[in-house]
Amino acid sequence: MKNTPLASFANRIAMPDLSISPGGDKLTPSRLRIELLAGLTVALALVPEAVAFAFVAGVHPLVGLYAAFLVGLVTALIGGRPGMISGATGALAVVMVALVAEHGVEYLFATVVLMGALQVFAGAMQWGKFIRLVPHPVMLGFVNGLAIVIFLAQLGQFKVPGTAEASGHGVGGGEWLSGTPLVLMLGLTALTMLIIWGMPKLSKVVPAPLAGIGIVAILVIGLGLDTPRVGDMASIQGGLPSFHIPMVPLNWETLEIILPYAVILAAIGLIESLLTLNLVGEMTNKRGGASQECIAQGAANLLTGFFGGMGGCAMIGQSMINVKSGARTRIAGIAAALFLLVFILFAAPLIELIPLAALVGVMFMVVIGTFAWNSLKILAKVPAMDAFVIILVTVVTVLEDLAVAVVVGVIVSALAYAWNNARRIHAKTRESVTDAGAKVYEIQGPLFFGSSDGFAELFDVEGDPDVVIVDFADSRVVDQSALQAIEAIAGKYEAAGKQVKLRHLSRDCHRLLSKAGHLMVDSDDDPDYQLAVDYNVRTGILGGH
């Protein structure tokens, strides 16, 4: 793994580091065992999450479980990154709650279908590549904020069983455990974390999270300890998901209702999935697959909407559990989905006996591993704006949601970049060697929309001689605003009865500018790079090359 802050924090998670060589993902008995055990661990962690998010959205627990199964299976089969785990998520559930409350669950299913179609379209258009525009400080803020969100989500398990879920407000509703039940819950959670931390030092045969869940579950069941179990949240017993066309009117009014929700859900789902794809890529040293992941997420949600699921996206917590348990192929994700289906169909009574404390302990270890602790050290070392972006994205992720946080972070980073580059524009002046009496402006720094005003302020039209040479050897003309700024300066000099010569300007730029008829351009030493836009100074029409 590359030695980056994002990669280094992933290495420090207290779970077994079963990293493999580039050729180690070949299917051998040992590899198959690792993949299946990782899948089982993930499936156990998916159950309470899916049930809790179903309560948040205001739907039946099986709607969340079916989403976890179907979305997880499809994305594991055709997703852009082996090792990623997808399912029902809280980021989507909080958006769905208003739709379900106002219009009912059938409208939710229709929305999920449309959401999937939009995501497939985004993948087909290869819009997933725009995730490259997310700066590293935004990624650090994303993982930090998501770690805090995962931690806060687990606090709901420290409430009297049923009250938090029934309230539909997660941590915000229900009565907290107290006295002996609270002490027992905390003790079992700490024991699970201790097992996960210490297990790799003894053996790596079984993934440490699975060992923690198994040992604590045996202890609780064997001693008959009175502590919240999975079954206290809701029964997970059910049948196979069946094909179901959403029962909504097929008219314009329905589209007006579901389209805004579908767009928001599609955007949130893709942003979280693509950022998780980048994170898993850092951990497994793999790249690419963004557009394929968009198509996989869309296909999964399209299918889920027709089989009674609430839809979903990539889950960073479960993906971390999977990868750190040693999974490197699609088998683990497929196994996790199939194990979850087995739980629903046959093993519900057994799974419902698992103490919630064990699963909370696993997720707390995920929090420790997800949070980019190194970012706290580098805050004082990186540029102030980068530090601000890290903190801003972290806070907005916690207070609002992931999509808003990422968009805010990218916008702030882009504005900061534009401002910094706008301040770089300046000019050195000297007398011309070849043109007697001419004044030369040597422009330095990029000329674009942000620096065009500063560029205009560099010139002394009234005090300059009759011939002025503008040299762009150390500059770069970037966009239409830059061309317009050059044309405006030339116009001012022409109005003052003076001549302007442009040197070292790209050939495409001075061809366009010369159309105005009053610019003299020296082209013998001009560079050959091409501008990204084609601007007609007479008509003001902007076009692409």
Q: CATH code at 514?
A: 3.30.750.24
Q: Does one domain contain both 406 and 481? A: no
pLDDT exceeds cutoff 80 at 438:
yes
pLDDT digits (tens, 9 = 90+) for 54-102: 888 889 999 999 999 999 999 999 998 899 999 998 889 888 988 999 9
* Domain annotation covers residue 194: yes
Quick check: is 70 in a domain?
yes
Residue 312 sits in the same domain as residue 336 = yes
Q: Do 244 and 128 belong to one domain?
A: yes
Shared-domain flag, residues 235 and 289: yes
* pTM over cut 0.85: no
Give 17-61 as a DSSP string: -----TTTTS--HHHHHHHHHHHHHHHHHHHHHHHHHHHHHTS-H
pLDDT of residue 510: 61
For residue 500, the SS3 value is: strand
Is there a single domain that holds both residue 124 and residue 82?
yes
In a domain, 421, yes or no: no
Confidence of residue 387 (pLDDT cuts 50, 70, 90): very high
| Tally of domains in the chain | 2
Domain that holds residue 476: 426-544
**Cα–Cα dist 60/9, whole Å:** 37
For residues 395 and 455, state if they share a domain: no
Q: Are residues 529 and 408 in the same domain?
A: no
Over range 146-173, report the average pLDDT: 68
Residue with tokens 């049948």: 239
Return d(Cα 341, Cα 347) in angstroms, integer. 9
Among residues 387, 413, 439, which one ends one of the domains? 413
The fraction of the chain above a pLDDT of 90, given in percent, is 48
Domain stops at, among 362, 391, 413 = 413
Q: How do residues 446-457 score in pLDDT, each as one tens digit?
A: 888 888 889 999
* Residue 40 shares a structural domain with residue 79: yes
Residues 153 and 298 in one domain: yes
Q: Is residue 12 part of a domain?
A: no
**398 compared with 121, residue with greater pLDDT:** 121
**Residue 13: inside a domain:** no
Does 211 share its domain with 324?
yes
The confidence score (pLDDT) of residue 537 equals: 40
DSSP string of 353-400?
A: TSBHHHHHHHHHHHHHHHS-THHHHHTTTS-HHHHHHHHHHHHHHHHS
Q: Is 14 within a domain?
A: no
pLDDT for residue 526? 53
Determine, yes or no, domain membership for 186. Answer: yes
Same domain, 404 and 459: no
Q: Looking at the domain assignment, is residue 132 inside a domain?
A: yes
Residues 477 and 399 in one domain: no
Judged against a pLDDT cut of 70, whether residue 486 lies above it is answered with yes
pLDDT in tens, 31-41: 999 999 999 99
Q: Mark which of 368, 389, 413 sits at the end of a domain.
A: 413
Mean pLDDT of 182-197: 95
* Greater pLDDT, 471 or 119: 119
Each residue's pLDDT tens digit, 303-326? 999 999 999 999 988 998 999 888
- pLDDT-derived band at 484 (thresholds 50, 70, 90) equals confident
